[in-house]
Structure 1
Amino acid sequence: MVFQLISRLLTGEASIYFARLRTIATIYVVMGIFALAMLFFLFLALFAWIAHSIGVVATALIFAAACLVILIGVYIFLTIARRPPRRRARERMQSDVASIASVAAVSNLPLLFRSLRRRKSLLIVPVAAASVWGVFRVLQNWRDGGYGR
C-alpha cells in the first residue's frame, strides 16, 4: 500500500488514489453501522424470545446480569493489559530464564546419566530427598485428618 502511494505520488495520480481510499472508508463505515444494527436486532429478538418463555422482568434481569459479567471480564482484561511495562518485562525475563534453565537441564541429561552409570552412589541423594518428601506429605495429611478420620 505504501509503494502504491509512492508510485501514485510520482505519477501524479495521488488525488485519484485518495478519492478511492475515501470511498472505501465510507463504504466500511456504512457496513459497520449496518453490522451494529444487525447485532442490536439479534439481541432484541433474543430478548423477545426469552421474554416470551420466562417473562419480561426475569429476562431483563438475566440480560443485566450478563452485561455485568461481561463488564467485569472486560475490566479484568484491561487491568491485566495495563500492567506496567517493567512488570511485564520482569515476568518475560523470568519465563526466559525458566526456559533456558530447562533447556540446559535437558541438554545435560546425557552427562548426568553417564556419571550415574559410573558412580551409583550419586543416586542415593535424589532417592533420599524424594523419600523424605513423601514421608513429610504423609505425615502432613495424617495430621490434617486426610486419611480416614
Structure 2
Amino acid sequence: MLSSLVAAFISGEAVGAARRARRAVLIYTFAAITILTGLGFLVGAAYAAAARRFGTIEAASSFGIVFIVIGFVAVGIHSLSGRTRKREAAGRRGADLATIASVAAVSLLPALLRAPSLLKGKAGLAGIIGPALAILAYGIYRENVKPEDEKPID
C-alpha cells in the first residue's frame, strides 16, 4: 500500500515536471524565434543605412566580411575551449582512475589480511608487496613527469 502511494506521488511529480519542462521549452523557443527575427530586422536596417551612405556594393561586401570574421572568431574560440575541455577531462580521468585504484586496493586489503594462506611464505608476501611497490613507483613517476603542455617543442 505504501509503495503504491509513493509510486503515485512520484508519477504525479514526474507528470508535473514534464508539463513545466514542455511549457518552458515552448516559451524559450518562442522567445528565441522572436529575438532572432528582431536581430534580423536590425541587421537589415543597418544594411539599408550603410547602403544609403556608402553604396550597395560597399555595404554588402562590408557586411559579408564582418560576418565571416565573426564566424571565424567563433570557431577559433570554440576550438580553444575544446582543447581546454579535453585537457581537463583527461586530468579528471586520471584522478578518477587513481581514486578507483586506491579504493580497490583499500577494499581488497581486509580480504587479503583475512586469508592467512595467501600471506604464507615469500610468494604470498611478494603478491602483496609487488603491486604495492608498482603503485608507489607509478605515483612517483607521475609526480615527476612534466604535463604535456610544459614539454619542450622539438
- Which structure has more RCO (C-alpha within 8 Å, separation ≥ 6)? 1
What TM-score range do you get, normalising by the shorter chain?
0.3 to 0.5
TM-score w.r.t. length of structure 2 = 0.46
TM-score w.r.t. length of structure 1 = 0.48
